[in-house]
Amino acid sequence: MTPEEIKLKITELASKHQETDDNGDAELFEIDAEGLIITYCEGKGYLINGFPTEKKKMPEEDFEEDYFSHDRYQLYLDTLTCEKDDVADLTWHYTSTFWPDTFDTKSDFIESTRESIKPGGYYEIEL
């Protein structure tokens, strides 16, 4: 999918997300939107320390049981958001359509994302 096709699909998911009161269903729309961006990133060959594509090729016993967790994929997306303009555009579109009142500008969003991936920030895991 192209970035524009992904944005269109994210907009559709955001509309459904806004219409639901059920947190379980809302979370599914969020996971679907993130999945579109992750698939795009993997398709572009974007890796952070070999994650996720190269790490998936390694023997399972080299990793703890939940290595490929949602948090680790979120760290992957956040890191790429700070490094790749195309990913920043997609994650900004996702955030601004799902939670339109969270950030005033894309630059505020990216700065917040930068802070979250710094050592001692939000994540207690590494890629």
Contacts of 6 (CB under 8 A, 6+ apart): 36, 37, 40, 90
Q: Among the listed ranges 9-13, 56-60, 66-70, 74-78, which one has the minimum average pLDDT value? A: 56-60
Tell me: pLDDT of 20 over 90. no
pTM over 0.95: no
What's the pLDDT score for residue 75?
96
More confident residue, 92 or 125: 92
Rounded CA separation 10/29 (Å)? 9
Nearest Cα to Cα of residue 46 among 10, 82, 84: 84
- Enclosing H/E stretch for 35: helix 23-43
Amino acid at 24: G
